[in-house]
Structure 1
Amino acid sequence: MRLLNPTPHNKLSLPVPTDDALAASAALQQLIRAEIAANAGAISFARYMELALYAPQLGYYSGGAIKLGKDGDFTTSPEMSALFGGTLAHVCADLFAQTSAHIMEFGAGSGRLAFDILTECNISGVQVDRYFIVELSGELRARQEELLKDFPQVVWLQTMPEAFSGVVLGNEVLDAMPVSLLVKTEQGWAELDVGLNEEGGFKLAESSLPASADLVAQIPDADNFAPGYMTEVHAVAIGFMHSVSQMLLAGHNASGKAGVAIWLDYGFPAHEYYLDQRIQGTLMCHYRHHAHPDPFYFPGLQDITAHVDFTAMAKAALDAGLDLLAYTSQAGFLLEAGIGEILLRIPLDDHQRYLPAANTLQKLVSPAEMGELFKVLIVGCGAQLAPQLQRHDRSHRL
Structure 2
Amino acid sequence: MTSLSEFLARQIRNAIRDAGGWIGFDRFMQQALYAPGLGYYANDLRKFGAMPESGSDFVTAPELSPVFGAVLAEQVRQALAATQTDEIWEFGAGSGALAAQVLGALGDGVRRYTIVDVSTSLRMRQQQALAPFAGKVQWAQRLPECIEGVVLGNEVLDAMPVQLLQRLDGVWHERGVALQDDDFAWSDRPTDLRPPVQVPGDHDYLTEIHPQAEGFVRTLARHLVRGAAFLIDYGFPESEYYHPQRAQGTLVCHRAHQMDTDPLADPGLKDITAHVNFTGIALAAQEAGLKVLGYTSQAHFLMNNGLLEKLEQLAPVDKAPAVKLMLEHEMGELFKVLAVGPGEAWQPRGFAQGDRTHRL
The normalised TM-score by structure 2 is 0.95
Matched residue, 2:125:
143
Letter in 2 for 1:156: W
Separation in 1 of the partners of 2:114 and 2:222? 17
Pick aligned residue for 2:175 from 192, 217, 240: 192
Cα deviation, 1:159-210, whole Å, max 9, x if unaligned, reads 2223101111011111111000011134631101101112x11011112xx3
- 148, 167, 171: which one aligns with 1:165: 148
Q: Which residue of 2 aligns with 1:380?
A: 341
Q: Residue 368 of structure 1: SS of its match in structure 2?
A: helix
Match of 2:223 among 239, 244, 247: 247
CA distance in 1, matches of 2:235, 2:178: 29
Q: Is the 8 A contact 1:53 1:303 kept in 2?
A: yes
Q: Distance in 2 between matches of 1:47 and 1:225?
A: 29
Counterpart in the other structure of 1:12: none
Q: Deviations over 1:73-111 (max 9, x none)?
A: 000000011100011111111111124111110110000
Over 3 Å counting, the alpha-carbon distance change for 1:308 and 1:388 in structure 2 is closer
Distance 1:147 1:387, change over 3 A: closer
What SS does the aligned partner of 1:369 have? helix
Amino acid of the structure 1 residue aligned with 2:264: F
Measured at CA, do residues 388 and 82 of structure 1 come closer, stay the same or move farther in structure 2, by a change above 3 Å? closer
Q: Counterparts of 1:340 and 1:46 in 2: how far apart (Å)? A: 40
Question: Quick one: which amino acid aligns to residue 397 of structure 1?
Answer: R
Amino acid of the structure 2 residue aligned with 1:136? V
- Tell me whether 1:118 sits opposite 2:103 in the alignment: yes
> Does structure 2 retain, via aligned residues, the 8 Å contact 1:183–1:227?
no
Given that 1:324 and 1:378 are in contact with CA atoms closer than 8 Å, whether structure 2 keeps it comes out as yes
Partner Cα separation in structure 1 for residue 282 and residue 25 of structure 2: 24
Contact 1:99–1:165, Cα closer than 8 Å, also in 2: no
- The question of whether the paired residues in 1 share the 8 Å contact of 2:305 and 2:349 is answered with no
Task: Report the 3-state secondary structure (helix = DSSP H, G, I; strand = E; otherwise coil) of the residue aligned with 1:67.
Answer: coil
Is the contact between residue 300 and residue 350 of structure 2 (CA under 8 Å) also seen in structure 1?
no
Residues 199-257 of structure 1 show CA distances to partners (whole Å, capped at 9, x for unaligned) of x11011112xx324xx41x43114x4425211111111010111111111xxx2xxxxx
Structure 2, gaps ≥5 residues long: none
1:368 maps onto 2:329 in alignment: yes
Distance in 2 between residues matched to 1:206 and 1:38, nearest whole Å:
18
Closer, same or farther in 2 for the Cα pair 1:388/1:144, shift >3 Å?
closer
Give yes or no for contact 1:107–1:135 (8 Å, CA) kept in 2: yes
Report the equivalent of 1:14: none
Residues 1:368 and 1:33: Cα distance change in structure 2 (over 3 Å): same
Answering whether residue 10 of structure 2 is matched by residue 25 of structure 1, we say no
Of 43, 50, 54, 2:34 maps to: 54
Asked if residue 276 in structure 1 is aligned to residue 244 in structure 2, the reply is yes
CA distance in 1, matches of 2:147, 2:247: 40
**TM-score of the two chains, using structure 1 as the length reference:** 0.86
Q: Tell me how far 1:341 sits from its aligned partner.
A: 2.3
Please state if 1:219 is matched with 2:196.
yes
- 1:67 and 1:99 map into 2 onto residues whose CA distance is 36
Residues 92 and 388 (structure 1 numbering): CA distance in 2 closer, same or farther, change over 3 Å?
closer
Aligned residue number for residue 81 of structure 1: 65
Cα offset, 1:343, TM superposition: 3.0
Q: CA 1:99/1:55 → structure 2, altered by over 3 Å: closer, same or farther?
A: farther
SS at match of 1:365: coil
The number of aligned residues is 353
Distance in 1 between residues matched to 2:349 and 2:268, nearest whole Å: 43
Mapped contact 2:169–2:203 kept (Cα < 8 A): yes
Q: What fraction of aligned residue pairs are identical, expressed as a percent?
A: 45
Pairwise CA distance, 1:387? 4.9
